Amino acid sequence: MTAHAMSAVRDHASPGRTGPAGRALDLRGLTKIYGSETVVQDFRALIGAGEFFSLLGPSGSGKTTTLMMVAGFAAIDAGQLLVDGTDLAAVPPERRGFGMVFQNYAIFPHLNVFENVAFPLRARGAPKALVREKVAAALDLVRLGHLAERYSRELSGGQQQRVAIARAIVFQPPVVLMDEPLGALDKNLRYEMQVEIKEIQQRLGMTVLYVTHDQEEAMNLSDRVAIMSRGRIEQVGAPRDVYEHPANAFTARFLGEANLLPGEVVTAQADGAAFRLAEGTLLRTGRPGPRAAGSGQLFVRPEKLTLRREDDPPGEGMNRLTGTVRRTSFLGNVVRYAVETPGGALVTVDAPNMSARHHPEPGERALIAWSPADTAILPPDAP
């Protein structure tokens, strides 16, 4: 992609702008009710200009419905939607001027690649020379300049999705909405396309609201992620924050593998807590986490744990638990162990696939060790 292509796409929509081309999006308590069911409840987020913001959650958690309210395809039952301070609730979808990319947003089969991408510009009455320039720049951005004459049946899935992306950004919309745009692609291509989408978004300074149920995709792409469950936001934050500091067991489990061991807080100070597992073992945390008293769940990610021989204890101050290896799963880059502790809990340990590591077999005893700094206490599961 050339610098010229980049500035040609950028300059068209925002002449003279030097900051991000995207606009700020203020979702103030968006609510959607179908029949007697509130499928999105009081969704609040202030999304900054040029921010990549993702809605992540299981199927049915209200992600698409939230996006459809922002797009204007679903009426807002309560709440407000503001772009740079202007309320859009009464503005029809085509007048909101947002770019959109959907999983099955088929590109027009009767138009070639060039005409597909030109479509939004022609609909806005852009002069011919400008259309040529903008389309060439957008196709250059998605690396499809050489396929401008092709029709959709002559394109791979990844290429078709690139056309959809070029069409969504060619008129430099203030906000781009994407709903599972990579859902139909295979894993490797999906990762490649994530890198491309991120690069385009950053270079153009676009504001993106992105829907996915794929936690790795959300973490890879986003400045911030809103984790949704049953129509509500469970937690919002930067990917690393949400992953390392989940607010509750739902977020902990949804963003990757999590060990959650029930027990009681024994003492809690600002710099850490002592926690007793139901079976009696005393463990420490480097921070109390959201739970500073009473019963709760000790949280630690599997990759923070190391497996050692029982006669090879870790250094002073490390948490330790002994158990019996019940299962090993070879996953390529890591070996995943299920270790049964005296209380009967199965603890998941992810060990990097390195020959220097201790790799016990099923049936063997092992010592699990980890740092209190990687440990937090979360509230108990709701009954």
Q: What's the burial of 105, exposed, middle or buried (CB within 10 Å: 0-12/13-18/19+)? A: middle
Residue number with CB closer to ligand ADP (102 or 299): 102
Q: Which of 97, 92, 81 is nearest to 26 (CA)?
A: 81
Residue number with CB closer to ligand ADP (228 or 283): 228
Tell me the CB-side half-sphere exposure of residue 341, using CA atoms within 13 A.
22
What does the alpha-carbon distance between residue 288 and residue 216 come to, in Å, rounded to a whole number? Answer: 27
Residue number with CB closer to ligand ADP (61 or 207): 61
Task: Please state the closest distance from residue 98 (CB atom) to ligand ADP, in A.
Answer: 18
What does the alpha-carbon distance between residue 43 and residue 29 come to, in Å, rounded to a whole number? Answer: 5
C-alpha to C-alpha distances, 236 to 26, 78, 239, 258, 383, nearest whole angstrom = 14, 21, 9, 18, 24
Region of 18 on the Ramachandran plot (φ > 0 left; ψ -120 to 50 alpha; else beta): alpha
Q: What angle do CA 232, 96, 103 make, to 5 degrees?
A: 60
C-alpha to C-alpha distances, 381 to 93, 112, 297, 378, nearest whole angstrom = 40, 53, 8, 9
Task: Please state the closest distance from residue 194 (CB atom) to ligand ADP, in A.
Answer: 19
Residue number with CB closer to ligand ADP (65 or 259): 65
Task: Please state the closest distance from residue 279 (CB atom) to ligand ADP, in A.
Answer: 38
What does the alpha-carbon distance between residue 368 and residue 383 come to, in Å, rounded to a whole number? Answer: 30
Residue number with CB closer to ligand ADP (63 or 291): 63
Q: Which of 169, 143, 171 is nearest to 158 (CA)?
A: 143
Instruction: By CB under 6 A, name the binding residues for ligand ADP.
Output: 34, 39, 57, 59-65
Residue number with CB closer to ligand ADP (57 or 145): 57
Tokens of 179: 């709903």
Task: Please state the closest distance from residue 47 (CB atom) to ligand ADP, in A.
Answer: 18
Residue number with CB closer to ligand ADP (32 or 308): 32
Task: Please state the closest distance from residue 64 (CB atom) to ligand ADP, in A.
Answer: 3
The residues that bridge with 38 in the sheet, in sequence order, are 33
Task: Please state the closest distance from residue 217 (CB atom) to ligand ADP, in A.
Answer: 14
* Residue 236 and residue 224 in contact, taking contact as beta carbons nearer than 8 Å: yes
Task: Please state the closest distance from residue 359 (CB atom) to ligand ADP, in A.
Answer: 39
Residue number with CB closer to ligand ADP (45 or 366): 45
